[in-house]
Amino acid sequence: MSAEVSSPRLSAAWLSGEMARALAATVPPSKPSDVMRAADELAAHMDETAVIGHLLEHGLDSLGVRRVIEILRVLQHLAVE
């Protein structure tokens, strides 16, 4: 039996699990894990195009992807101030 060690989420300071669930609920078929992954990728300064690609791979439409990215950017910005 192997134990999986998880590293701390980069976006944990500005995106709670509750917020991720709420955002995912507004953009079906996204899941909280999709939102958290996108937030961590943005926090790691990954190219936004790659983050968009990952969300599109999970079945979101372009409007939903844009909504997720914009909201995550606002939350990230507010946490920095």
Closest by CA to 65, choosing from 38, 36, 40, is 38
CB 68 within 8 A of CB 38: yes
Spatial distance between the Cα atoms of 43 and 77, rounded to a whole number of angstroms? 10
CA 81 to centroid of chain Cα atoms: 20
What pLDDT is attached to residue 24? Answer: 97
**What's residue 9's pLDDT?**
83
Under a CB-based contact definition with an 8 Å cutoff, are residues 36 and 73 in contact? no
Q: What pLDDT tens digit does each residue of the chain (81 aa) get?
A: 444 446 678 898 899 999 999 999 999 999 999 999 999 999 999 999 999 999 999 999 999 999 999 999 999 999 876
How many CA atoms lie within 13 Å of 37's alpha carbon, on the beta-carbon side?
15
What's the pLDDT score for residue 2?
Answer: 43
pTM listed for this prediction:
0.85
